[in-house]
A and B are shown apart, each in its own frame.
Chain A
Amino acid sequence: MTETLLEVNDLNVAFRLASANLTVSSDVSFSVDRGKVLGLIGESGSGKTVTSKAILRLLPKNASLEANAIRFKGRDISTLTEAEFNRLRGTELAMIFQDPVGSFNPVKTIGWHFRTVGKLHRGAGAPRGEIMKEAKEVLAKADIADPENALRKYPHQMSGGMLQRCLIALVMFSKPSLIVADEPTTNLDNLVERQILDLFDKLRRETDASFIFITHDMTIAEMISDSVIVMYAGQIVEQGPTEALMRRPQHPYTQGLVRTARELEGEVETLTEISGEIGTGVHPENRCRFAPRCPLYETACDHAIALRPVEGHGLVRCIKAGQGAANEVTP
C-alpha cells in the first residue's frame, strides 16, 4: 500500500507584469507517493520550475498563486503562515538547484554550511562534534572520497560535480521527506551527470524520501522516475507511469520528445524536431495550446481540451489519445 505524500490540486500561477497577467502554470494537479520519484518534463518555459517552486513558496513577489489545496502528509500547506511554512522547509521539504556552485555561499566553507543546517534543525545547542561527525557520514554516502578535507574547503576550491555531491549531502543531512531536484545535472558534463544520477538512484533506494525530479531530458526521466508528468505551455499534457508513457506516449508532444530521445540513443543522421516554438505565455482559451506545432492538428482541436484518462495509461490532454496503434513510437 503506497501512501500519498504530496497532493497538488488545481495549482495556478500567474505573474503580474506591467502589460498583462501572464499565466505560467494552469490547473496543475498531481500527487507524489512516499519513496517514489516523479519526473517533471518539459522544455524551457513550460512551467516545470515555476510549478515546483510554487510548492515550496519560492516564487518572486509579483507571482500570484492559487490552488484548491496543496496537501502534504494529509495537511493543507497552502494556507500555512510564512512562519509555519518556514518550519517545513529544510526539515520536510528541500530543493536542489541547477547551479551547485551558486548554491553555496562563496565566502563560507562547506563545513560552515553543514553547521548552519545542523544547528537549524537540531537546535543551537547541538554539540558541534556530533554535527560534524554526521556531516562526514552523509558526505561519505554521497561518494565524497575525503569528507574531512571537503568540509574545510571553500566552494571555489571544488569542482561542479563535487559541489553537487556536497549539495545533495547537505540536503540529505536534514532528512527531508520530499526533495525537489531542479535539473541537478544540467550544468555538469556527461560523465559527472551519470555519476550524480547514480547517486540519486542510490539515495532513493536507501532512504524513504520522495523526489520531484525536474528535467528536460526524457532518458534521464526514464532512468530515474517511477511516474512522469509532461508539461507544455503551463499545462500538464500527459501524465502516467514512466514505463507505459515511454513505450506508448499518447500526446503528440510526448511522442515527439520520446522519438527524439530514442534517436539520440541510436545513431541517426538528422534528429526529428518538433517544429515551432512554445509561444509567449498568452494562450487563447479556446484552442489546444500545442495546436500550432501539432502534426495531427485538425479543426476539432479548436476548443479547450481537457485532461482525460486513457486506458492502460495515465491522463492525456489530446482528443486523439487512445486511438490505437497509430500512437506507437518505433525507434
Chain B
Amino acid sequence: MKKLLKKSYLMTGIVLMLITAIVLTGCSSNSASGSSSTFYEGKSLELLVPFGTGGGTDTFARFVAPYLNENVKGSPTIQTVNVPGGGSINGSNEFVLSRKPNGQNALVTSGSTHMPYFLGDPAVKYELKDMKPVMGLPTGGVVYVNPETGIKGPKDLTKSNEKLTYAGISATGLDLVTLLAFEVLQMDVETILGYDGRGPSRVAFESGESNIDYQTTMAYLSNVKPLVKEGQANPLFSFGQLNEKGEVVRDPAFPDMPTLKEFYVKAYGEEPSGTAWEAYKAFLGSSFTVQKVIWLHKDAPKEAVEALSQGAKKAVEDPEFTKKGEEVLGGYKPYVGDQLDKVVKNMLNTDEEVTNWVKEFLEKEYDITRYQ
C-alpha cells in the first residue's frame, strides 16, 4: 500500500510536469484587456512578430501593445505571438497565407523583412504594396572611423593613412545601406562580412580588426559616443532620414551631424546623383526610415484599419508613451496616419531599374546570385 501511494505520488508529479510543460508552451505571449465601443469592442488583436522573443522587433511590439489597447476604440485584448525562422520571411509568409484578414491579425515587420522583399527573394510570399500600414518606427545610424586613419572630415576622404576595413554582418542586411554609402562616396573600403551582429562588429572596430564602422542610433549613443569622447572614434556622417518627399534630411536624433548627402556635397562640391545614390535612398527608406512597421492584411475590414490607425495616432501623442519608450523607440516618434502612408509609399515606389542595379552590384561585388 505504502509503495502504491508513493507511486501515485510520483505519477502526480509527472502529470504536473506535463501540464506545466503544455501550459508553458502556450503562454509566451502577453495580454491586456478592457472595453468600450466600435469594431474592436469585445474583440482581440494578435500581433504576429516574425522574430524570436527579446529581439528589437519583439521588444517594440510588446512595448506598443498596452498603448494600443488603451487608445484603440473598443480596447481590444492584444497578444504578441512570435513566429521566428527564415530571417522573418517565415512568419511574414504565415501571416499573409494562413492568418485571417479579419482585422484581428497584424504583422510587425523590420528592415530585415523588407530587404528580401525588395531583392525579390524566391521564398517571399508577402506583397507589402497591398498591405495596410498602421504605425512605423524609424531608426538611424552613424558612420565613424578610427582616428588613426587620419580621416577627420569630407576633405580627407581619399587620403586615409591606412587601408579602410569594414566589419559587417551580411551584404543583404542593414549593411547594404552602409555599403551603398561607400559606393556613393566612391570610397575604397575592404569589406569583411560574417560578423555575428553589430555588437561584435563594434568590438572588431575597438580591437583594431576594422577601422570604419557604423552603429544604429541607440547603440551609437550608448556605446560609440564614449569612444568619441576618448578620442578613439571620429564620427563622419549620419545616414539621414527620408522625408515625405523622398529627400534625405537630417536625423532628428543627430541634429548636428551632417547627412551622407551634405558630406558628399562638401567632399565633391556637387549634389550626389546616379543609380548608386537612388539605390542608397531606396534602401535607406526601407531599412532605416521605416525600420519597423505594423501592418494589417490588404483585405482587412475598413473599420479595423480606421480604428487601429486612429488608436496608433492617439498612442503616439500620449506623453507617457514617449517617456517610457525612450530606450525602445530610440528617441524617435513613430510615423502614423498620412505621414506614414507617404513614407511607406516612398519606400515601396522603388524603380525596377534601381533594384536590378542593386542585384547586379551584389553579384559583382559580393558574389550573391540568389536574387538573379
Instruction: Decide whether A and B are members of one complex.
Output: no
Binding site for B on A (CB under 8 A): none
Binding site for A on B (CB under 8 A): none
